[in-house]
Amino acid sequence: VTDKLQALNDEFTKKQKEKKDLEDSIVRCEQKRDRSERLIGGLGGERDRWSNEAQQLSESLENIVGDVLIAAAIVAYLGAFTVDYRECQELGISCSVKFVLYDTLGDPVQSCTWQLAGLPFDTFSVDNAIIVAHSRRWPLMIDLQGQANKWVVNMEKENGLRVVRQTDQSFTRVLEEALQKGLPLLIEGVGEELDPILDPVLLRQTFKQQGVDHVRVGEVVTEYHNNFRLYITTRLRNPHFLPQVTVKVVVLNFLITKMGLENQLLGLVVAHERPQLEERKNRLLVESAHNRRALQKTQEKILEVLSQEISAKEEVVQQTEQEIDAARGAYKPVAIHASVLFFCSIRSSDTSDDVNSRILLLNFYLTRAIFLSVTRSLFERDKILFSFMLYVRLQQAQGRVKEDVWRFLLTGGKGVLDNLHGAPPAPWLSEKAWTLLVQAADCESLSGVHEHLANNVEAWEEVYISAAPYLANFPQPFHQLHGLDRLALVKCIRPDKVTLAIHFDISSSYDDSTCSTPLIFILSPSTDPVAALRRFAIEKEMGEEDVQVISLGQGQVSD
């Protein structure tokens, strides 16, 4: 009975949980239904407008190519003409029956913003603003009445507009500031010729330096900010610009039209007679612009809610993946080349059952293969630099390079050759060499070297007069120096031997030679490899009887 009661209690608990889940599901469904009803009700008013807009778009689809072609032609060529010459005649192409530039490139929200900034309401002025917004060339506006100047100043004042004339002494400085900071620049009151310093800016002759766009302004190279905008106005009634000017800018005729003048005069009259009415109209104009912006944002939000969000995200992911793959694919030749070298190293290098030994063998063979592959295409004078940098980088990766010594080798010390330790202690030691030795003593491994030289001048003189100072025996306790430490002292005492100290390596050359392929040393004046050759023979455990020296110089005769 107890077991049955427990089973019933468990079943009751399970059913209660199912009931609770169903009640929660009902609540969620009701909430979704309410939201759907509100959304449908909100969209009901948009149905007619969207239907009409869809019908208009369907009708204009047949003429879109011709309309865009005409719009591009107007933007590129017709800016300098008056309203009568901008009327489209029979063109023999498929386009709208009555072509209007605003219908193709216009934006109602943007137009309201322009008009709030002082742009006249007439179609001609709006078309001029459209040309300014869509042209790839900076605008040069014929502005006899100052309408364009007023419009640009009001439109760009919140963006930090700079206004300047070509005759101002600060003209170049203001231009450079606007280019660097990405500020709008208005050059007003120009004549029929433009300052040649503007040519690179007008032609957008930018170039990259350290990943940043730059442009040349006269003799100065300055940064070019992508937000930079340029406006040019002239007060000339009928200017005759040379072709050299017109190809660099888009010339716009901003002369006032009859309709524009009527609107402006009407506004002045109403503002004088009934200022409250004119003020109310201006407020309505501002409100209309805000309403259009809000409507546009609402439409975009509704479309975003109704769209397939997951599909959109997946499309973005796929597009990003394709871009990444394309970027990575640009480096594919490097990967192929490196993989070939790597597998050649694996197949051609010596084998070993010990993992550590195998790694050493692979590293050695791969380094040698890369070195031979690169140096094969280098000039002889560049091979030594590549070899030295390869050696230093590998040593740095293993933590075997003392950074203070490496920095001293590259920079030659602190940069300021001030010496507080008096004159050089030996006549064969120059002032510069003595100062470098003093600075080299700041390195931990070379500490006290200048004092040791001052106390052991004769011992160090033997190193100085040696034909190969980089192979000479340094006085104790510096006799155990090797690598970059020894090279740093050679740079101080005999800087003319630094290149030879880096380049001279008999062991690697000996490995490349055979019994039928001798080594030939091409010597510079005062260089003698005999000492290094004898040292190498000792390292190879060869006695003096195994090394035979025969002189074939001038006046020497062999038996």
The pLDDT tens digits for 313-366 are 556 655 665 665 566 556 556 556 656 656 666 667 777 777 678 777 777 777
Note whether 71 and 127 are within 8 A (CB).
Answer: no
Of the CA atoms within 13 Å of residue 201, those in its CB half-sphere come to 30
Give the E-state strand segments of 411-534 in sequence order.
none
- What is the DSSP track for 336-370? HHHHHHHHHHHHHSPP-SSHHHHHHHHHHHHHHHH
What pLDDT is recorded for position 465?
81
What pLDDT is recorded for position 232?
94
Of the CA atoms within 13 Å of residue 239, those in its CB half-sphere come to 26
- pTM strictly above 0.75: no
DSSP state of 514: B
Instruction: Please give the Cα distance from 130 to 119 (Å, whole number).
Output: 12
Q: What is the pLDDT of residues 179-228, one digit of tens each?
A: 999 999 999 999 998 999 999 999 989 998 888 899 998 888 999 998 99
Note whether 291 and 122 are within 8 A (CB).
Answer: no
What pLDDT is recorded for position 153?
92
What pLDDT is recorded for position 559?
42
**Could you tell me whether strands 138-142 and 229-234 are parallel, antiparallel, or unpaired per DSSP bridges?**
parallel
- What is the DSSP track for 449-480? HHHHHHH-HHHHHHHHH-SSTTTS-PPTTSTT
What pLDDT is recorded for position 100?
82
139 bridge partner residues: 250
In which region does residue 286 sit, left (phi positive, over 0), alpha (psi from -120 to 50) or beta (all else)? alpha
What pLDDT is recorded for position 529?
67
H/E stretch holding 214 reads: strand 212-217
Among residues 214, 188, 219, the alpha carbon closest in space to that of 201 is found at 214
- The position carrying tokens 């025969």 is 550
Of the CA atoms within 13 Å of residue 45, those in its CB half-sphere come to 6
Q: Which two tokens stand for residue 247?
A: 């190809």
* pLDDT < 50 stretches in the chain: 310, 416, 557-559
Q: First and final CA of the chain: distance in angstroms?
A: 127
Query: What is the Cα 153 distance to its own chain's centre?
Result: 32
Q: Which two tokens stand for residue 458?
A: 């004769």
Residue 155, number of CB atoms within 10 A of its CB: 20
| CA dihedral over 320, 324, 326, 327, signed as positive or negative | positive
Q: What angle, 0 to 180 degrees and rounded to 10, lies between the N-to-C axes of helices 484-493 and 431-440?
A: 150
Query: What is the Cα 531 distance to its own chain's centre?
Result: 53
Q: Do you find a cis peptide bond into 243, omega within 30 degrees of 0?
A: no
What pLDDT is recorded for position 401?
82
Note whether 263 and 151 are within 8 A (CB).
Answer: no
H/E stretch holding 212 reads: strand 212-217
Altogether, the residues listed in the chain come to a count of 559
Instruction: Please give the Cα distance from 311 to 532 (Å, whole number).
Output: 73
